[in-house]
Structure 1
Amino acid sequence: MIKLPSLALLLSLTLAGCGADKLETAGNEPPETGAATGKEANETEPAPDLVTLSAAEQQAAGLKTGLVQERPMGSGLAVNGTLDVPPESAVSITAPLGGYVQSTELLQGTRVRKGEVLAVLRNPEFVTLQKEYLQLRSRLKFANAELARQRELYEQEVAPLKNYQRAQAEAEALQVQLSAQAAQLRIAGLPVGGAIVPTAALRAPGRGSCGP
């Protein structure tokens, strides 16, 4: 009668120990291959070009997020770049007779109108061209007077026809030279006749902006 309670107590302890061993064994066993936990099932591989910042990193960098909105810019935006125009819109301006720039009031990017003075050029050849024009004009004046005299003598049958023809040819040749000299002066931007000037104005052929 005294041994029965002890035997029952021993059996109870043995069964309890077996249960604890089974629980410990089950906790130490690795999960079966191919089985995924709930956390692993919900995780996805991050994109290789995606950068993620934590809240602390965003605060340290001073980053703020918000919705995209259209707003007028309160100030200009300074950027580096090069302006270019189509070939048909680009005009290269050169002085027909050369020379050096004596003065100009334009800067790169300044808008100009057709006929506006771009620069004032100086060239000793300008003086020579105007001098030759005035000399030709004086010779033509004399040739025209001689032509009129020879015509009158020929009509009065005092002088032969060849004298009149020679005077006429001389006057026509001088007139051609004078016209060519005047055209050259206009191309160079020099005055035709009048006072001799050593400078010429280089003018814009059309509207646009000054470039390098």
Structure 2
Amino acid sequence: MNEPKPKKQMLAIVAVLAAGFLLGAAILTSEKTAPAGDGHGEHQEAAHDDEKGGQHADEHDDEDGEAHDEARAEPAKGPHGGKLLRDGRYAVEVTIFETGVEPQFRLYPYLDGKSLPVDQSQVELTLERLGQPAQVFKFEKEKDYLKGDAVVVEPHSFAVKVRAVHDGKTYQFGYEQAEARVAMTDAQLQGAGVELATAGPAMIGTTVSLLGEVRYNSDRTVQVVPRLAGLVELVAANAGDRVRKGQVLAVLSSQALADQRTELLAAQRRLALARTTYEREKTLWEEKISPEQDMLQARAAMQEAEIDALSARQKLATLGSVPGGGGSLTRYELRAPIDGVVTEKRVSMGESVKEDAALFTVSDLSSVWVEAPVSVQDLAVVATGQKASVRANAFEAVAEGRIAYVSALMGEQTRSAMARIVVNNDKGLWRPGLPVTVEVLADETQVPVAVAADAIQDLRDWKVVFGRYDDALEARPLELGRRDGRHVEVLGGLRAGERYAAKNSFVIKAELGKAGASHDH
């Protein structure tokens, strides 16, 4: 007996719904089991095309590999903790291994989700960093992985391109990772006070640091003494006064000076009389009136008078005085022997002074001495003629000079020699008694690459500068050499011509701290 027609229609509807449900479940299941996290949608499409007939190998043989270079998503994590890059049935896991060794690439190939013997794949990896040429890694079999032939230097911030060949087919993968990198525009750098510089050649010296003190330049310091006893009638200068050569410092009344002046006046009178007598006797002798003997005696007397007058004048000149033109014979003017500053005054008006008393000290402070003890260990590198930099300990001031003298003898108590630097002091900053630090340039060498000392920052266990690449600043760990306080030699990590943050680079380090940069493999 035939079933009713409505019942047949219901069964057909149920069958259609069941088929649709099963098809939907199949689609969902296939999406969940498809390779995930490789970030290469083009790779998946190529795999499907291969299953349908065909063009998979031809697409991967395209050297441009544009679809594969556009890696956007983060690759999936592989069994060894690396980045798992997939293309259909084939996959390769990229790891950076650095436990007990220098960082190295280790690759693990897979086929259909299972480990593939490493000798069945030929892999080449190209690593691209900001501002640097591409680095190509070759791989060799080692145990159950392929080992790269070079160290992966820090920071691990780069773009990676992998080209693998298996069973005659070529596969290309790629991904990027950033580390110790921050983006800042030129306007932001300017606002933060960050200044850029270019790494390049510089003169770097090896220095020896000494503690010293500013002293008077003894070659330009004079003790002013009267050279005769007397009574002080006037004091015309005080300590701290700037005086000119020949300026009166004090006036003394001296009986000894009066005696000298009187002696000169008497000698001058005798000389005048002797000259008159000689001229008369010479005339009489020429006229045959008096004998030649009288003329010769007169000439001898005149010559003796000349000697007496010259001696009296020289005595006064030694005292720094000349006969007063109608003034007091006892007045003695004590004058400044050089241009300079009165640094000491030891006389008062009305005081009786001796001829050897140092009444004033006048020093030319346009140059000063800096004296610093040199230990036995440093004597081998400190010598006359070397460049030296003098820095004040109490305020910001620096002067350049050269070592003019190193004592030949060691101090009995200090067991050190004394080095002396002559420093220009036109502005009067270097006052005697001021403590200073002396940096002696022991050796100076031209280096091919150097950076400013203030640019170097500590980041993790690195010494870094922050290289500038377009709008990005990235840490560049450096291998450092010699330094002299202004520049530091770069042995590795930065090339000549690269720009870097030279001033206020700590701002970049602070920005990295805010970004929470991690060590990514």
TM range (shorter): 0.5 to 0.7
Corresponding position of 1:172 = 303
Task: Give 1:160 shift.
Answer: 1.8
Amino acid at match of 2:337: P
Task: Give 1:193 shift.
Answer: 5.9
Amino acid at match of 2:334: L
Task: Give 1:172 shift.
Answer: 1.0
Aligned mates of 2:217, 2:334 — CA distance in 1:
24
Does residue 124 (structure 1) correspond to residue 255 (structure 2)? The answer is yes
Aligned mates of 2:285, 2:270 — CA distance in 1:
22
CA change 1:145–1:105 in 2 (3 A) is closer
Aligned with 2:294: secondary structure?
helix
Aligned with 1:176: secondary structure?
helix
Contact 1:114 1:205 in 2 (8 A): yes
Contact 2:323 2:329 in 1 (8 A): no
1:203 corresponds, among 332, 335, 338, to 335
CA change 1:128–1:107 in 2 (3 A) is same
Contact 2:270 2:305 in 1 (8 A): yes
Over alpha carbons, which structure has the higher Rg? Answer: 1
Corresponding position of 2:284 = 153
RMSD: 2.1
Amino acid at match of 1:190: S
CA change 1:156–1:165 in 2 (3 A) is same
**Percentage identity across aligned positions?**
27
Does residue 104 (structure 1) correspond to residue 104 (structure 2)? The answer is no
Using the size of structure 1 for normalisation, the TM-score is 0.56
Amino acid at match of 1:207: D
Corresponding position of 1:133 = 264
Aligned mates of 1:160, 1:91 — CA distance in 2:
58
Aligned mates of 1:189, 1:176 — CA distance in 2:
20
**Which segment is superposed worse, 162-171 or 121-130?**
121-130
Contact 1:136 1:178 in 2 (8 A): yes
How many residue pairs end up in the alignment?
Answer: 131
Contact 1:133 1:193 in 2 (8 A): no
Amino acid at match of 1:204: A
Amino acid at match of 1:140: L
1:142-200: CA deviation from partner (whole Å, max 9, x where unpaired) = 11111011111211222221211110011011112112212322333433363242111
Contact 1:186 1:192 in 2 (8 A): no
Aligned with 1:107: secondary structure?
coil
Aligned mates of 2:232, 2:264 — CA distance in 1:
24
Amino acid at match of 2:342: C
Corresponding position of 1:70 = none
Corresponding position of 1:95 = 226
Aligned mates of 1:199, 1:153 — CA distance in 2:
45
Amino acid at match of 1:154: W
Aligned mates of 1:169, 1:199 — CA distance in 2:
35
Amino acid at match of 1:176: I
- Unpaired runs of at least 5, structure 2: 1-212, 345-521
Aligned mates of 2:301, 2:214 — CA distance in 1:
57
Aligned mates of 1:91, 1:132 — CA distance in 2:
30
- Flag the structure with higher strand content: 2
Aligned mates of 1:86, 1:141 — CA distance in 2:
48
Aligned mates of 1:147, 1:160 — CA distance in 2:
13
Aligned with 1:128: secondary structure?
helix
Aligned mates of 1:184, 1:153 — CA distance in 2:
37
Corresponding position of 1:86 = 217
Bigger relative contact order (CA 8 A; separation at least 6): 1
Amino acid at match of 1:150: E
- Unpaired runs of at least 5, structure 1: 1-81
Aligned with 1:92: secondary structure?
strand
Amino acid at match of 1:177: D
Contact 1:139 1:174 in 2 (8 A): yes
Aligned with 2:224: secondary structure?
coil
Aligned mates of 1:175, 1:111 — CA distance in 2:
41
**Which segment is superposed worse, 84-93 or 110-119?**
84-93
Aligned with 1:109: secondary structure?
coil
Aligned mates of 2:305, 2:290 — CA distance in 1:
23
Does residue 114 (structure 1) correspond to residue 245 (structure 2)? The answer is yes
Does residue 163 (structure 1) correspond to residue 294 (structure 2)? The answer is yes
Aligned mates of 1:122, 1:147 — CA distance in 2:
38
